[in-house]
Structure 1
Amino acid sequence: MKIFTAEQIRNCDEYTIKNEPISSGQLMERAAQACVDWIFENCKNHRNFAVFCGKGNNGGDGFAIARMLHLKGFDVDVFTSTKAKFSADAGNNFRELKEFSGVSVKEFKEVKEYRFDNRTVIIDALFGTGLSKNIEGEFKELIDFLNLKNNLKISIDIPSGLFADTVSSENAAIFKADFTLSFQFWKKAFLHPETGKYVGKVKVLDIELHQEYITETKTEDFVINEDKIKDLFRPRNEFSHKGTYGKVIIAGGSYGKIGAAVLSTKSALKSGTGLTFTLAPKCGYEVLQTSNPEAMFIEGGNDFIDHFEKDDNAVYGIGPGLGTNEKTVKSFLTFLKNHSKPLILDADALNIISQDSKNLKIIPENSIITPHPKEFERLFGTTENSFERVKLAKNKAKELGIYIVLKDHHTQIVTPEGDVFYNITGNSGLAKGGSGDILTGIITSFLAQNYSEKEAAILGVWFHGRAAEFASEKHSKESMLPTDVIDEFGTVFKELNAKVERAL
């Protein structure tokens, strides 16, 4: 799914109005109806709605939503500035709403005397994507007041005070929603930690904007949705053998950190690779052979890896628990200088590379690196925020000809061409040591199975998050372990195979 800027979304609206054709008022009605349908389905235990409407088209959506909720039998109170100079469509909807005697229209200043009971839903339709500066004055006071309420809060299209495409200032007044009902598209701000914390759960509502514009308009930003994954995933061929699905070598582990290599190896095995080897120090032999008997062991040293065996027929995943012993550093960098095939680099492999910026030049072209924000910072330098971090990642991916999997709540896959794919699977249960080791195993396995580097990174990150969702359902986000995530790989594969079969 494409991510468009606020300007592109406005252009899409205008293109739809001109080419469907449809009036702007009718398009607003369609958007409001999509919101009401979702609210009606998901808020059945609530009877009262307090709808806060600004003077622009976001307020117009709010007025239409209030009218439709009233017609469905809900109790609705609308807060607005009745003397405001409304946009044309907002004004039309406001006048139409006033004809309904059952809807109470109040001034914003009356909110402090309003009784918010526990069945009241607050709907934010104050400011949309056209906001160009921080909210101040009475609207800041209003948003600060509403944010203190414990009621269920729903924002229409975007939380008021949030910019769609950039980071907001630290002290900006922003409505904090439990749900954001976004029209047709994800906004970039929903996907970054500084701004995404305000949106709650995002529900993208299809309001049938013109498909021709969506198809033909270029963007470098995408959300990984199920349609994308269904197109990427290739079911297993019945007439195949272990050689069909590639050879993986997981290189990692050191004294006290063998568990990282265990997790990465198990992950590679469970995600479908044909042959799996673990290159690890001798101290990990018994643990690895006991925990992963399906994998073969390559001894790389005593308590740490002091030599890397070169195998041009294998895909390497290097880094989990590797350590940064002097001999490991030397042998790893020597291996990297002499290896030309794409590989996956994570954890201590990245920490070793970050010791000297010249090491970046020896990463083989089209390799995949998987840093978390701190590892990224050590590799490429600090940035002011996550928006700037992605911009820097795009520059470095182009410069080095590599794929950067920047791990975050919504992990970003940055390609050498400058495209960014945001992942929306997963949850905070992955915020545990070992989760990154699993991801390394998955991506390495998919690359060995002849997915392209881009495909392996996108499918691997999505797969990792989806397995975590199943694990959290069984164990909770707090209690789930990385091994629980691995145990759900089969569930994800079953789901993917079923989707592909239904599409045939």
Structure 2
Amino acid sequence: MKILTAAQVYQADKFTIEKQQITSDALMERAAIQIFEWIHARLHGAPVVIHIFCGIGNNGGDGIALARHLAEHGYNIKVYVVNYSEKRSKDFLLNMERLKDRKIWPEFMNPETVLPETQPNDIIVDAIFGIGLNRSPDDWVAKLIEHINNSQAFTLSVDIPSGLPVDQPLWKDSKVVFADYVLSFQTPKMVFFLPETGIHLENWEVLDIGLDNEFMMNVDSSFEYFQKHDIQSLYIPRKRFSHKGTYGHSVIIGGSYGKIGAVHLSGKACLKVGSGLVTLYVPECGYTPLQSSLPEAMVLTDGEEEYISKISLSIKPSAVGIGMGLGTEEETIQAFGNFLKSVKAPLVIDADGINILAKHLEFLKDMPKGTILTPHPKELERLVGPWANDFEKLEKAMRFSETYQCILVVKGANTIVISGEKGYVNSTGNPGMATAGSGDVLTGMITGLLAQGYNSLNASIFAVYLHGLAADLEVPAHGYESITASSMIDAIGKAFVELFRQPQPPNDNQPKG
């Protein structure tokens, strides 16, 4: 699913209106009906009070149109117009007239208005500001936003939480509605997925308002949100006449004294994702633990007891993952640099591998084209430098990816895979993944997919999705707190099954009522 900028959304609206020969008001009506149906499907006419706060632009027009539909279906509504400007959009004015024709009179709010009271069982619909907001809300509107946030009512935002800009960082000290749910028109907004702005909403859902398919297919978006059907299209099925050699030989290089477990996790994940063969390359102290705990893997050592001092492979790997638990001893750094100059296989670099690159930028030029780096936020900062906000972070990541012709897997609540000027936002995962070893598992999964013939971009996207899905499948039985890296590995098989599980049709033989 493409993630559009505000300018692209306006272009989509214009294109749709012209091609489908409809009015802008008709498009607004589509949006209002979609919101109404979403609410009505959940409330079924329940006797709750719905407070609808409307601005005086098109977002407010959506709210006013929604109020009309709710009233016509018997809902108890209270409508407020947040009068923050003398300007009004024409579609807002048109819908105001329709509302007044039904004898529904909104309360117009200004800086002197007493803020309305709400009850915990009420519902607030936030339609104050939309995607056109280009400055911080006025102080009195900011107080209204704080009032909404301090209420205990369920808050539903139309298209975007009011006060949140679409394509730029939040203004300093600006107030934003916290939305329990956002109903976003046709496409999600990039700010939903970034740490500094995504904290202003709990859940979101896209409503299809019929923006023209031709435009949506052809528009060039910088970011895409990948979901189950996107991942299904990447999957390379297994063939009947095949053997372990068909699915590649992965090599996992890492570990140091006290950090051999990272290699174990990565190697096991590599096997579970389907790599035909896996060899673990570790210092001598890792030999016995790994041979005992992971019998499916082969183990090579460099002869050094506590850390890797040289990397010399007697095999030709299909893919290599390096860095987990590696350490940053001087001999290890030298071995890592020499390895980069010689490696020909597809490569994934994680953890201490990234930390070494950050301190030895001269190594970057030796990375094979298409190398995948998997930094967590602090590792990314060491690699690309500090950023002022999340938008600058993404700009720096894209510039780095383009300069060094590599893939960056920017880990976070919504992990983003960066390939040059394009970003792919993941749709799976949960807070339980904030646990030791989670990144080692992901590196192993990417390596295992590379070994099976997936290209660098597809292996990254597929592994990130499957990694998050495995963690999601653990939540119902164990909750967030009890998820571990090992339990995620155990759920990889279930994630593959879930990826291709077909929804069950309703059982018509069940008794009705």
Q: Under TM normalisation by the shorter chain, which class is it?
A: over 0.9
Equivalent AA in structure 2 for residue 421 of structure 1: Y
CA 1:70–1:329 in 2, change beyond 3 Å: closer, same or farther?
A: same
Q: Residue 345 of structure 2: which of 341, 344, 355 is its match?
A: 341
Residue pairs, 1:76-155, within 5 angstroms: 76-81=77-82, 85-101=87-103, 103=104, 105-108=106-109, 112=114, 114-155=116-157
Deviations 1:324-353 (A, max 9, x none): 122222212111121133300000111112
CA 1:75–1:373 in 2, change beyond 3 Å: closer, same or farther?
A: same
Unaligned runs of 5+ in 2: 506-513
Tell me if structure 1 keeps the 8 A contact 2:119–2:152. no
Partner of 1:36: 36
Tell me if structure 1 keeps the 8 A contact 2:320–2:345. no
Paired residue secondary structure (1:232): coil
Tell me if structure 1 keeps the 8 A contact 2:99–2:105. no
Deviations 1:352-395 (A, max 9, x none): 12222212112221100011111111122111112111101111
C-alpha distance in 1, partners of 2:10/2:181? 22
Q: Alpha-carbon deviation of 1:185?
A: 0.6
Partner of 2:333: 329
C-alpha distance in 1, partners of 2:503/2:143? 51
Tell me if structure 2 keeps the 8 A contact 1:46–1:119. no
Residue pairs, 1:352-501, within 5 angstroms: 352-416=356-420, 418-498=421-501
CA 1:209–1:280 in 2, change beyond 3 Å: closer, same or farther?
A: same
Paired residue secondary structure (2:458): helix
Q: Alpha-carbon deviation of 1:501?
A: 13
C-alpha distance in 2, partners of 1:408/1:256? 26
C-alpha distance in 2, partners of 1:420/1:11? 21
Partner of 2:74: 73
Equivalent AA in structure 2 for residue 343 of structure 1: L
Equivalent AA in structure 2 for residue 135 of structure 1: P
Tell me if structure 1 keeps the 8 A contact 2:119–2:151. no
Partner of 1:250: 252
Unaligned runs of 5+ in 1: none
Q: Alpha-carbon deviation of 1:477?
A: 1.2
Deviations 1:282-311 (A, max 9, x none): 222232223221111112332222221234
Worse overlay, 294-303 or 305-314: 305-314
Partner of 2:8: 8
Q: Alpha-carbon deviation of 1:210?
A: 0.1
Give the alignment's Cα RMSD to 1 decimal: 2.0
Worse overlay, 423-432 or 219-228: 219-228
Tell me if structure 1 keeps the 8 A contact 2:53–2:82. no
C-alpha distance in 1, partners of 2:401/2:38? 40
Q: Name the % identity.
A: 39
Partner of 1:234: 236
Q: Alpha-carbon deviation of 1:84?
A: 5.4
TM-score (norm 2): 0.93
C-alpha distance in 1, partners of 2:486/2:479? 14
C-alpha distance in 2, partners of 1:153/1:429? 26
Aligned pair 1:179/2:200, yes or no? no
Size of the alignment, in residue pairs?
500
Aligned pair 1:280/2:313, yes or no? no
TM-score (norm 1): 0.95
Tell me if structure 2 keeps the 8 A contact 1:230–1:499. no
Tell me if structure 1 keeps the 8 A contact 2:135–2:171. no
Q: Residue 167 of structure 2: which of 141, 165, 168 is its match?
A: 165
Paired residue secondary structure (2:4): coil
CA 1:346–1:104 in 2, change beyond 3 Å: closer, same or farther?
A: same
Q: Alpha-carbon deviation of 1:178?
A: 1.1
Deviations 1:439-464 (A, max 9, x none): 10111011111011110011111111
Tell me if structure 2 keeps the 8 A contact 1:31–1:61. yes
Partner of 2:510: none
Q: Alpha-carbon deviation of 1:499?
A: 5.4
Q: Alpha-carbon deviation of 1:238?
A: 2.5
Paired residue secondary structure (1:445): helix
